[in-house]
Structure 1
Amino acid sequence: MARPFEKLPAGARNHLESMAANGLLSESAAATALGMPLHEFRRVIAEHPASKEVWQNALAVERDQILQAMYDSAIGGDTKAAQTLLAVRHGMSEKQPKGNSDRVSVVFNLPAALSASDYLEAVEVKQESLPNE
């Protein structure tokens, strides 16, 4: 039985980033390309910090490629791509939040404006005289 992998093999960073740049990145494809069984690849990514960083950097390259393609589509007039890009990168959406949200919402309901005479009547202080003892 072969010894289990302790970290990703040498050259994994360049190989995984190249796969990501070409749209070929997945866990199974990465494991196969690096000559590792999938379960070993997943274990190494979870347990070895430097290997996890290599994988996260490859995912970042893939994410940047996708965001650039979406940006190009949005600039070209694709409104769905523009909406998605605004939602993903800037948290903007035309949809109202549903159910419980982490955001606090405060609503102020103001009464209608009073006429000048009604306003004076509302703010006028009427003093009462105290009964004489």
Structure 2
Amino acid sequence: MARPFEKLPAGAKNHLEAMAANGLLSESAAATALGMPLDQLRKVITEHKPSKEIWENALAVERDQLLSALYARAMEGDTKANQTLLAVRHGMSEKQPRGSSERVSVVFNLPAALDPAEYMKAVRVEQEKLTNGSE
């Protein structure tokens, strides 16, 4: 039985980035291309920091390719591509209210719940105050 992988094999960086550039990057395709079982690929890119960085860089190549394609469509006049780029890259949307971009935020901090014995004690104290105050 072969030893489990502890990191990505040699050459994985170039291979994964090439896959990403060609739109072929997925965990299962990467595992097959690198000769690794899928579960071991997932474990390696989760637990081994340099391997995780290689995987994230490959995903960044794919993201850049997709954004480039979307940008080309937007420049050709595709309004949906324009809207998507404005929302994704610049945080702009036609759904945002016009005017001030500052929003009001209200936070309520509630005390921790009392255990039943403490609650009953607090109720009794309040009842005694009411009873003694009404005499």
Interval of TM-score (by shorter of Structure 1 and Structure 2): 0.7 to 0.9
RMSD: 1.4
Alpha-carbon distance in 2 for matches of 1:86, 1:40: 38
For the residues of structure 1 that align with 2:85 and 2:76, how far apart are their CA atoms?
A: 13
Structure showing greater Rg? 1
Match of 1:44 in 2: 44
The whole-number CA distance in structure 2 between the counterparts of 1:60 and 1:35 is 23
Can you give the 5+ residue segments of structure 1 that lack an aligned partner in the other structure? 98-102, 107-133
What is the TM-score of this pair, normalised by structure 1?
0.73
Identity between Structure 1 and Structure 2 (%): 78
Q: Output the CA distance in 1 between the equivalents of 2:12 and 2:91.
A: 34
Provide the residue aligned with 1:21 in structure 2: 21
Show structure 2 runs of 5+ residues with no match.
Answer: 105-135
The equivalent of 2:103 in structure 1 is 105
Q: Is structure 2 residue 94 aligned with structure 1 residue 78?
A: no
Q: Whole-Å Cα distance in 2 between the matches of residues 104 and 46 of structure 1? A: 38
Amino acid at match of 1:43: K
**Could you list the per-position Cα deviations for residues 28-67 of structure 1 after superposition, in whole angstroms to 9, with x for gaps in the alignment?**
0000000000000000000000000000000000000000
Q: Which residue of structure 2 aligns with residue 58 of structure 1?
A: 58
Q: Whole-Å Cα distance in 2 between the matches of residues 5 and 17 of structure 1?
A: 20
Deviating beyond 2 angstroms after TM superposition, the runs of 4 or more aligned structure 1 residues are none
- Provide the TM-score with structure 2 as the length reference: 0.72
What is the deviation of 1:96? 3.6
Aligned length in residues: 101
